[in-house]
Structure 1
């Protein structure tokens, strides 16, 4: 059965003009052409007009919901006419076989969402030696501990994912109070809106399958700012805050099921790996081991802070 895929790219700032152009061009170069390309602009009329002039072959619209990534994605889903909706970050480049790999993964009618493999493209030229692969999720990329082959997973990562459109609509879309919202230049690097949606879908539709498809590859730009330890720490804390919102929505058992295994297996193995590297002469291994411990601690602090904030608000 032939599938029609609507590709949605959410954008918000002229500062990423060249990145947006590269993302759009990578969609045009797909071996399997999309049914349509939708660019959703987050409350930036000037950027919207500029994109309409530059990309007349795309559907360019303004975010009709709350400011932020979740509202933009919901807007895109609402106007899409494809059977599937695929999301691509505005600072990412999709490999030519990206869409074909996604569509092939939906052959099983039980599959409701598919996540792809995201490689980091370091603006600094290479990965900082202290930066552990276990924490590549802090820069929106696939990380050590994820499956190496097509596998069933709990949730996708939103910058490289596809959903059945009707399933997203049936579930009520992305929660706009979860995830990142940019106001002017200020933004706390929150996330997890796609995690909450995936869990909500599988709770409401028992038997639904979410897959990781490593053949659906994109490269995600990592700016010099995001390669700094200060951002790493802030992103970990924000992830903890986001996880608190997720568990409030879908429950702690489902909301933390993957995180428990990650924290008790993947991260200890990473610390030991870093220490072993240091013993063998790679002193940066100490930095990686330390970063893993700091990242886990700050994520836990963010989660506890978020739970306390929710409890106070409830009272």
Structure 2
């Protein structure tokens, strides 16, 4: 079967370093054909020039705090059969698109979503979930790693994450893309509900993985303390107007207030916020709720065909995956070896083990090396014991088995 052409849309604003790392990952995908569409501010455009990518990707200059409007601009010039989305503070595994597009092997699948790992590169932020008309998500217990096609139940939708999802362009175009009323928060959830309302099925593909860092922005600090809750309030009010019966609104809003207050007080207890911040943020939440209740909802006309030809990106990856493993004490030499291999186009996994029980962490470096550090006797997943004895060769083999399909090692 011929692989579908995919347009990958990335929106970036005021996070040039994160965009650079995201593009490092996107430029080394084990997939073809795909194009990259970047919707970004001036800082983002400067990153493209610095990386020498300005002639290899499609771009839209945009510097407004509205992710839905930005994504729609990206969809407008996307020419692929499938449009995939990833955030600028995320990096994809090399086989991300190979796995994500498996969901579209079902002709009836309108969308496909994968799993998202957190900032330590090990634990999951999100896996399979459903969402209801109040915007409340619930986990789906899926067994194994095989793709699953799911049809939404009455009043619920299959949840996909905005940083790891794909939709057929024809379906996106017909729906008018993302609703600009959602500047931030619940933007993809609204799309999920609209897909469900039309009876569209969604595939969940566990092995389509991205690593998401929750980077700092105008809305949250590096320590994840909120800087503003206006958009959360506004988006919640709009979502309820669109999808939830009026009689349930008061209860949902009361729950939102209680949850956000509890979170704010936890941040204050831990020293990340001051009492005045709690008062200010609470007021901003209320202002957003009030604005969302009366906001004029824009019409969402069908998005026309892209005026641009498909621009296939020539991946820097050769398709060859290698593993370099050793003791942390030899990290300088091992890192130099890993960088040299990455420069040839290899997908390089570098395993650095200390003689300890430290938990493991994974990151993609700016040199395009997947570096995993941790104790030789430490856990790399929550299911493993905190300590267990192992030799270097055995532990290396275990970690390779854990990441083989995501990193393309099963084809090596």
Same fold (TM over 0.5): yes
Q: Work out whether residues 64 and 71 of structure 1, in 8 Å CA contact, stay in contact via their aligned partners in 2.
A: no
Choose between structure 1 and 2: higher helix proportion: 1
**Matches of 2:231 and 2:283 in 1, distance apart?**
10
Counterpart residue number, 2:17: 18
Higher Cα Rg, which structure: 2
Give the corresponding residue for 1:3: 4
Consecutive unaligned residues of structure 2, counting only runs of 5 or more, are: 130-136, 143-147, 151-156, 260-265, 270-281, 297-412
Q: What is the TM-score normalised by the length of structure 1?
A: 0.64
What SS is found at the alignment partner of 1:23? Answer: helix
Aligned to 2:244: 252
The 5-angstrom pairing of residues 153-232 of structure 1 reads: 154-179=158-183, 190-203=184-197, 205=198, 207-223=199-215, 225-230=221-226
1:29-80 CA-to-partner distances (Å, cap 9, x unmatched) read: 22223421111114x3x64255245314532422469652112211111111
Tell me the CA shift for residue 201 of structure 1. Answer: 2.7
Paired with 2:286 and 2:159, the residues of 1 have a C-alpha distance of 22
Partner of 1:297: none
Where structure 1 has 5 or more consecutive residues not aligned to the other structure, the ranges are 128-132, 138-143, 180-189, 268-283, 288-299
Q: 1:48 aligns to what?
A: 45
**Secondary structure, in 3 states, of the residue corresponding to 1:222?**
coil
Instruction: Work out whether residues 8 and 76 of structure 1, in 8 Å CA contact, stay in contact via their aligned partners in 2.
Output: yes
State how far apart, in whole Å, the 1-side matches of 2:16 and 2:291 are: 37
Normalized per residue, which structure has more strand? Answer: 2
CA distance in 2, matches of 1:60, 1:100: 21
Tell me the equivalent position of 2:31: 32
2:109 is the counterpart of 1:111 = yes
- Equivalent pair of 2:101/2:112 in contact (CA under 8 Å): no
Contact 1:148 1:214 in 2 (8 A): no
* 2:114–2:164 contact (8 Å) kept in structure 1: yes
Distance change (3 Å), C-alpha of 1:312 and 1:163: closer
Distance 1:200 1:302 in 2: 28
Q: Distance in 2 between matches of 1:310 and 1:11?
A: 25
The count of corresponding residues between Structure 1 and Structure 2 is: 246
CA contact (8 A) 1:9 1:38 kept: yes
Aligned to 2:154: none
Q: What do you get for the CA RMSD once the two structures are aligned?
A: 4.1
TM-score by length of 2: 0.50
Alignment match, 1:183: none
**Structure-to-structure mapping, 1:70-89, within 5 angstroms:** 70-89=68-87
Cα distance, 1:226–1:39 mapped onto 2, change above 3 Å: same
Partner of 1:58, secondary structure, is coil
SS of structure 2 residue aligned to 1:121 = coil
Structure 1 distance, partners of 2:294, 2:55, is: 49
Residue 241 of structure 1, CA deviation: 3.8
2:153 aligns with none
